[in-house]
Amino acid sequence: MDIKPTVLIIEDEEAICNFISAILTSNNYQVVKAKTGKEGLSMFTSYVPDIVLLDLGLPDIDGVEILKNIRQWSKTPVIVVSARGHEREKVAALDFGADGYIVKPFGTSELLARIRTAMRHSSQGAGEEVSGQEKVIIGTLEIDYNKRVVYKDGEKIHLTSIEYKLLVLLSKNAGKVLTHDFIIREIWGVYTDESHTLRVNMANIRRKIEANPGAPQYILTEMGVGYRMAEEVTEGV
């Protein structure tokens, strides 16, 4: 994989913005810059960056407001860039879902380390995921996360990309009820009304992995709430 992660820098001070941009560009990141909050939000939607560096002191919109706005529909990691001594702002930013903060002035290695950490957390996904887990076996279902292959009764099964993502999300949170909204946000990113699409995809997955899709043993329906993947399944009993 050689796709450069895109970093959106929302920062009104040109010197700082250029400093960050130079470091990131030379470390294999792609950089998009915004000087105001308004510009930042619009670039966020058009570029869908992998991570955001957000200055809290912007000329037009308060940084925390921008964060709240982003968090309404996106889990993209946001690192807050703040001035020394603004503790309350930083706590507020973390409360509203910032993934970390960095205090000006900062150096190259500190900046890169913050970005790596935030991106690692976000790629681990939500919830209880055990980091470094390579595969999971539930009953006669085996999901190999490294190879991105799913086996049922030892046979490889064919899934669409969305079906696979759903199965990964559910299996990594096995035993836990995941709400419809949570699943939709995790898979489709933006909260739109994808509940019908979700149902259709779940039905398709069940047809592929359940002995009797009408009485599922692997993916259980939590009526009116969401879905839960069983932690253990004994088939044929």
Decide if residue 12 touches Ca ion (CB under 5 A).
Answer: yes
Q: Measured from the CB of residue 63, what is the shortest distance to Ca ion in angstroms? A: 8
Q: Measured from the CB of residue 84, what is the shortest distance to Ca ion in angstroms? A: 13
Contacts of 48 (CB under 8 A, 6+ apart): 6, 76
How far is residue 176's CA from residue 225's CA, in Å, rounded to a whole number? 12
CB nearer to Ca ion: pick between 43 and 136: 43
**List 31, 41, 54, 55, residue binding Ca ion (CB under 5 A):** 55
Asked if residue 219 lies in contact with residue 206, where contact means CB atoms within 8 angstroms, the answer is yes
Decide if residue 89 touches Ca ion (CB under 5 A).
Answer: no
Which span sits near Ca ion by CB under 5 A: 56-64, 101-109, 191-199, 214-222?
56-64
Q: Measured from the CB of residue 69, what is the shortest distance to Ca ion in angstroms? A: 18
Q: Measured from the CB of residue 101, what is the shortest distance to Ca ion in angstroms? A: 14
What values do phi and psi take at 185, rounded to 5? -65, -45
Q: What's at 135, amino acid-wise?
A: K
Cβ-count burial of 16 within 10 angstroms (0-12 exposed, 13-18 middle, 19+ buried)? middle
CB nearer to Ca ion: pick between 15 and 130: 15
